[in-house]
Amino acid sequence: MSRSLAVPLVIDRSAAAPLGSQVAGQIRDALVGGVLPVGARLPSTRALAGDLGVSRSVTEQAFDQLAAEGWLETRRGSGTFVAAGATTPLRHRPSPTPRPETGLLRLDTGTPWIDPRHRAAWRRAWRDVSAATPPPAYDDPAGVRALRIELAAHLARTRGLVCEPDEILVTSGTIGGLGQVLAALPPGPVGHEDPGYRAAAEAIRASGRDLRDLPATEPITDLTGAVGVYVTPAHQHPLGPVMPGSARLSLLAAAHAAGAVVIEDDYDSEFRYDVAPVPALAALDRDRVAYLGTTSKTVAPSMRLGWLVAPPGLHRAILERREVTHDVPPWPVQRAFVSLLRDGYVDQVVRSARRTYAARAQRVTEAVRPLATPILPVAGMYATIPLPQARARRVRASAREAGFEIPMLQDYCRTAQLSGVIIGFGGCTDAELDRALAAVVRGLG
């Protein structure tokens, strides 16, 4: 039976090295790199010679050499295999950035709770994708048009943001969209809330721009010299409050005066329990605000799908770049999200999660009372509890003892001097949350 090698080999007839050495060298590299695992079967010397267009003596010579070095072994009647002892220290190289295995359940701010009862609609969406034919060429650089039509209706209905499908760009989530906005802005610093979303701060830094810290607890009134400012008006991350109407107006005025673009991260506005969500900031000024939405809080962060509604000039610049780079989310994911929106899946999971989060937000508030008070009203899927540093550390230690990792408010601060703990309640069960809260209360007491 002919079997081809899982490693592409390239023969260079103009090179000084003999053909046998070239073949042996490339197979050896694959063995050292761990590409060919111990026990893997190699093609016959005849089949390999045929694939490479060389004489059989070349491949025989290469296999003999590698067998002599201990890399390969020949089993009579069954073929040539990677030898059992063919391991090198290199093959067991640890990953360059090993992730510490803490064994703790992370109660982070980013993991949503997705009601498994709506799985049928999820499966339908993917069946739908599997029955469709992908576009044979690069698809629309703005994103799948059917999705943009659904999104335009969704944004008008849920966020008071009225726009045409052609004003929407489908993105790889908030950070993907932010990266594209940053790439299209003129050189210059970008403002960022402090404390604020660390991934956004990282994206701004990675774009080579200076990050200008803007205290998250105060209205933004001056953006002189900045070309943009990233904000979370619906639910300041990680403190929680909605940006009041007066602060929205002062931010827009400051951005206008500086000629800066406001980058609105509308990451979890679906989840307010006390009142209806406030309309998007972009609804107030479409010419000044670039609006970023995401599926990360409603469907799953692993979808890596979002959308951007940018002012016309910025939209054009990003679209032109995407025409060249094809930096558009994968077609199957976009197509599945069309079905998820049409089928009502997104509305269903949002409704279920809203009920669950409302109950959990109350559970957190009641559990820590009277020892501490979260910043109220709690929205989204986390509660932020301001505490002096030492007390916050005691709470974290107590949570760790019980098997939970909770984020510290100070880790979201750059120049701000705030401390406390943040309890994410999306990525756990009710029972786990109760155990974590009992540990938090022990740490507070």
Q: Which of 275, 298, 348, 317 is nearest to 174 (CA)?
A: 298
What is the DSSP code string of 272-309? -SSSPPPPPGGGT-TTTEEEEEESTTTT-GGG--EEEE
Q: Is residue 265 a contact point for ligand PLP (CB under 6 A)?
A: yes
Residue with tokens 């032109």: 320
Instruction: Out of 197, 357, 412, 425, point to the residue binding ligand PLP (CB under 6 A).
Output: 197
Of 20 and 426, CB closest to ligand PLP: 426
Q: Which of 65, 80, 294, 334 binds ligand PLP (CB under 6 A)?
A: 294
Alpha-carbon radius of gyration of the chain: 28
Per-residue CA distances from 135 to 140, 226, 240, 321, 335 (Å): 9, 41, 42, 20, 11
Nearer to ligand PLP, 58 or 278 (CB): 278
Q: Which one of the spans 21-29, 137-145, 171-179, 363-371 is the region binding ligand PLP (CB under 6 A)?
A: 171-179
Q: How far is CA 77 from the centre of its chain?
A: 51
Q: How far is CA 254 from CA 192, 200, 228, 249, in A?
A: 14, 21, 11, 9
Map the footprint of ligand PLP across residues 61-120, applying CB under 6 A. Answer: 109-110
The residue range among 76-84, 128-136, 170-178, 319-327 that interacts with ligand PLP, by the rule CB under 6 A, is 170-178
User: For residues 49 and 59, is the Cβ–Cβ distance under 8 A?
Assistant: yes
User: Is residue 237 within the footprint of ligand PLP (CB under 6 A)?
Assistant: yes
What distance in Å separates the CA atoms of residue 436 and residue 426, rounded to the nearest whole number?
A: 13
| Count of residues touching ligand PLP (by CB under 6 A) | 14
Alpha carbon distance 116, 89 (integer Å): 44
Does 175 bind ligand PLP (CB under 6 A)? Our answer is yes
Nearer to ligand PLP, 20 or 238 (CB): 238
**Closest separation between CB of residue 410 and ligand PLP, Å?**
17
Strand partners, 309: 168, 291
Tell whether residue 267 is a contact of ligand PLP (CB under 6 A): yes
Is residue 173 close enough to count as binding ligand PLP by CB under 6 A?
yes
Instruction: Decide whether 74 or 410 has the Cβ nearer to ligand PLP.
Output: 410
Q: Please count the residues of the chain.
A: 445
φ, ψ at 135 (rounded to 5°): -60, 135
Residue 298 binds to ligand PLP (criterion: CB under 6 A)? no
269 belongs to the binding site for ligand PLP (CB under 6 A): no
Query: From CA 108, how far away is CA 424, in angstroms rounded?
Result: 5
Stretch that binds ligand PLP, among 38-46, 81-89, 125-133, 173-181 (CB under 6 A): 173-181
Residue 396, interface with ligand PLP (CB under 6 A)?
A: no
Candidates 16-24, 168-176, 213-221, 398-406: pick the segment binding ligand PLP (CB under 6 A): 168-176
DSSP state of 142: T
Q: Does 357 bind ligand PLP (CB under 6 A)?
A: no
The reply on whether position 329 binds ligand PLP by CB under 6 A is: no
Q: Which of 61, 158, 232, 384 binds ligand PLP (CB under 6 A)?
A: 232
Interface with ligand PLP (CB under 6 A) = 109-110, 173-175, 197, 232, 237, 265, 267, 294, 296, 301, 306
